[in-house]
């Protein structure tokens, strides 16, 4: 049996191609069920915004690969898949690839966590469809386990890359913590909302929000802020709010400064400002005012680049773990070639037991208890006969295991290795 993966990802295809190659849940079900029915193949499909991957395990793997390729070409439409966008990996390369994907090592953002839950969901759907069997079940479970091990031992996901998170954490570091501090946020777009979430997690004394020149866009936003215990401030009152805060975060989409040095005036107490906007929300001259410390996107980007470099270094260490785990899996997979022979031996023993019991009951009259005792003795004897050969067969590696399995198959005329 061969395992493999075919697909496209952010590394090989643009968003337009990835969009065409994406599987809905119902399409994934149909595709996996088709491979099972037509080729007796195992399959699992992972489909996210950044990748569409078809994992398979099959004896007739070349035909399966051809069928998967046809599916992708059909999804791509006229002109088919652009050259180089569809990749194919088999054997150890495929096992290593899935383990890297699950651990976030193959993601746009190295070490991101979301992909692990997507891998688990993809496998769960395949289990529902009964398309994932012994080979892929083991591969996906091992990959999830490997990803968790990498994350727990290397902490690759703990180095932040998001602008909002790094910005808030930088303020926390400079302020020596936000407990007892008053915070103000100007701007409630995507970055502003994320910043607010991270800000609240630091438990400041109070948080006020200036939504922007036009105020809050809808009632839902206003209700949400009230539920969080957050006060809102009118845009024209922002300088008054700044005068009473210790920490200020600006994250609007304004083309002009929303905080001017001439309007801010002097400060008697320390003020930390994080400007997350491009163009800048805060007049750079503000940073020269006494008791004011101004940080901007350049400071955040420097930390993000440093963290990204650390993640890349940790990813290299994680590769060693992946290689080891993939090797262990492939050795296990190689030994599964003996399973049909072992199954046939067990079936042959069961048939001999039934035949022997039938002969005994024709010759000797036994009550129910005596029959159970005789049946147990026959089963035990037959198991003892094959136990040692089976155990040794399981301990052998790939080619050796196959060689001896076929030898047993030939000796007992089991018919498992015909045509090989």
Catalytic residues: 49
Distance CA 300, CA 308 (A): 12
- What is the C-alpha radius of gyration for the chain, rounded to an integer number of angstroms? 32
Residue 415: how many other CB atoms lie within 10 Å: 11
In whole angstroms, how far apart are CA 410 and each of 250, 334, 420?
A: 77, 20, 12
Residue 6 neighbours by CB under 8 Å, 6+ apart: 53, 54, 56, 65, 68, 69, 72, 86, 87, 88, 89
Strand (E) or helix (H) holding 154 = helix 134-154
What are phi and psi for residue 204, nearest 5 degrees? -70, 170
- Tell me phi and psi for residue 280, to 5 degrees: -65, 140
Nearest alpha-carbon partner for 202 in 224, 173, 172, 229: 172
Helix (H) or strand (E) holding 344: helix 339-363
CA angle 327, 330, 335 (to 5 degrees): 130
Report DSSP state, residue 155.
Answer: -
DSSP 186: E
Closest by Cα among 399, 400, 393 to 346 = 393
Contacts (Cβ under 8 Å, ≥6 apart) of 130: 36
Do 191 and 251 meet the contact criterion of CB atoms below 8 Å apart?
Answer: yes
Handedness of CA 257, 259, 265, 271 (dihedral sign): negative
CA distance linking residue 407 with residue 405, whole number of Å: 5
Beta bridge partners of 248: 184, 273
Sheet with strand 2-9: strands edge to edge: 42-47, 51-58, 2-9, 87-90
- Distances in Å between the Cα of 29 and the Cα atoms of 35, 45, 121, 124, 127 are 10, 9, 13, 11, 10
């Amino acid at each position: 049996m061969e395992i493999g993966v075919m697909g496209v990802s952010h590394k090989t295809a643009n968003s337009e191609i990835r969009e065409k190659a994406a599987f809905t849940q119902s399409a994934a079900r149909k595709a996996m069920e088709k491979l099972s029915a037509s080729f007796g193949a195992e399959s699992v499909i992972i489909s996210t915004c950044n990748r569409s991957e078809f994992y398979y395990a099959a004896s007739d793997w070349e035909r399966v690969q051809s069928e998967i390729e046809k599916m992708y070409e059909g999804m791509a439409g006229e002109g088919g898949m652009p050259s180089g966008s569809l990749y194919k990996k088999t054997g150890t390369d495929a096992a290593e690839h899935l383990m890297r994907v699950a651990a976030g090592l193959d993601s746009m953002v190295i070490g991101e966590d979301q992909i692990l839950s997507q891998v688990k969901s993809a496998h769960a759907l395949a289990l529902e469809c009964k398309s994932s069997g012994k080979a892929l079940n083991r591969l996906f479970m091992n990959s999830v386990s490997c990803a968790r091990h990498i994350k727990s031992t290397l902490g690759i996901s703990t180095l932040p890359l998001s602008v909002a998170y790094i910005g808030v954490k930088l303020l926390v570091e400079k302020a020596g913590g936000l407990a007892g501090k008053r915070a103000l946020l100007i701007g409630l777009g995507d970055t502003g909302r994320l910043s607010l979430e991270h800000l609240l997690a630091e438990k400041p004394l109070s948080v006020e929000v200036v939504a922007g020149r036009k105020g809050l866009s809808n009632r839902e936003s206003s209700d949400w802020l009230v539920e969080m215990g957050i006060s809102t401030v009118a845009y024209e009152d922002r300088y008054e709010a700044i005068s009473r805060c210790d920490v200020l975060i600006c994250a609007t989409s304004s083309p002009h400064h929303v905080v001017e040095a001439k309007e801010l005036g002097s400060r008697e107490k320390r003020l930390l400002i994080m400007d997350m906007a491009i163009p800048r929300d805060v007049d750079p001259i503000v940073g020269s005012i006494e008791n004011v410390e101004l940080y901007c996107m350049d400071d955040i980007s420097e930390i993000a680049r440093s963290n990204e470099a650390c993640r890349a270094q940790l990813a290299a260490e994680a590769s060693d773990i992946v290689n080891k785990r993939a090797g262990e899996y492939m050795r296990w997979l190689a030994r599964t070639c003996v399973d049909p022979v072992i199954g046939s031996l067990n079936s042959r023993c069961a048939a001999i037991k039934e035949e022997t019991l039938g002969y005994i009951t024709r010759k000797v009259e036994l009550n129910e208890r005596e029959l159970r005792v005789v049946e147990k003795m026959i089963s035990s004897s037959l198991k003892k006969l094959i136990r040692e050969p089976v155990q040794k067969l399981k301990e052998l590696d790939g080619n050796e295991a196959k060689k001896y399995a076929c030898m047993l198959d030939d000796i007992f005329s089991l018919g498992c290795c015909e045509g090989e």
